[in-house]
Structure 1
């Protein structure tokens, strides 16, 4: 067993408590990673607050990065000493995985929110021999060490700052991939991004990479809109003001935008995004509201205008291909995601979350 220190949530809406735990031994397809950095994502807070039904107590964290310390007997992708980013889990054997879309794995929810190995209920244990769920997104990276599977570790170059790379495994690949992989905007096209958090700002940087001529950022936070301009937005709309967001976008683009990305997870904002599209426009639904939420969308507006609404999970990313590409963009100066980041010591996780929830930081990264 491996001794670790982990931040554990034990009850709904509870604090993250530091605990000394033991990880059970590796299975043949698994990888032991010493965590160097872990991003905090809104999905971690969704799980903490039980908006998604996840078992507690659990070690959360699903944007980990670090160094491989040990590999199982069947692992061939990585070896001891490799730098890796941890990403979402997938089974590799269901129809959607075999079709090359593992982000829509038929076992996605069980693997990423169930908190257990795919074929075993073995967990980490605390000093009183009580079990703690330790496979959130098949990694549980709010810990000094993490066990992942060969499928959800991504080998990355050693000349990039490993403690910074974890968010590429979820939030940042989600926003950028929604544009690059899902919407695939043509050069010279127009796009509106609703929400200027880490996912939305990543989408804006991706839109610039794709050559979009008009990039409109929509948010209620003036500071984040200012940062959006620095990262590539050509226009901003403050939706907290009295102006009509849809009318303003159509004023800037004549008939509306070719593409939109909705990252806020607010159903009414999705309705705005649909209305802001031009004829044959396409919107990517990225933000996740609580289960059961519906959006007030005019069906005939979608039908008559030929608009498309697509759901996007994890940026439609094949992580082993897409994450190294994002690192190349970053190293070339095209994708400065470090401007979204504030670093916190691992022990300060609760303070980091407070700063995130207060809107004082966009993407907190815990460093070890």
Structure 2
């Protein structure tokens, strides 16, 4: 005679209580106005998109033709080159200016403050034009001993300061003023105790800056610097006033020949949208990397979100029904 196996409770195994009608079930709050607002926004967006796509005054064939025009490609390459050079040089200059602002030397601090005050207080377009017309102020650029007739080197200003050089100088010096404040804010965001703790461990000032202060400051510096990079990319269009052949100038030159102003503006806008979208990708991953110490869990990447969505959908799919097979 066999005995029935002991119940789980008799074996010391905890058993979850059975669900009853007395259990509290959370019902999500209904938000009808949220869906109504979304429907209104989608309606307006669809109406605007339809009005653009069905507009007879827009030549979409011309947009597709000039979107891949070699002259537009040349403008895109020059725009990216100007942006890259200006951001690298301005960032290096911004570090120097920020260090001068944080210095205890009153002369260095005052000079840095005056630099930031001057370049942030005047419009970028005015600075570009002034650099373009530098030859009207100084016909010759010389290097020698002041207050004497001794000259070691001399060159015509218009030969040295071309339109491209003038544009780079204007963009770089203007951006350095803004970037220096971003760097200074990042350095001030690090607690002073971090520096003191590093020095107490015998770390050198350079090693402390590179391994302790800078990684923490980058969490504050990266987001605004990424925005400044995107702004720099778009500000290159202002160089059209001194005839630098970036993408906007190229589009303007082409439209003056075929009178397709709107179509060429759309072409330039599409290229700007593409370039800014590409620049946003490294900014996102840099922010994610340097934000590791600020939160316990990092936000998922777009690829991780997409993979989690498909995994969740696959998990909630009902399993195929299986037919019971009776043993003979």
- Given the two structures, how large is their TM-score scaled by the length of structure 1? 0.20
Q: Which has the higher strand share?
A: 1
- Given the two structures, how large is their TM-score scaled by the length of structure 2? 0.21
**Larger relative contact order (Cα-Cα within 8 Å, sequence gap ≥ 6):** 2
Q: Which has the higher helix share?
A: 2
* Bigger radius of gyration: 2
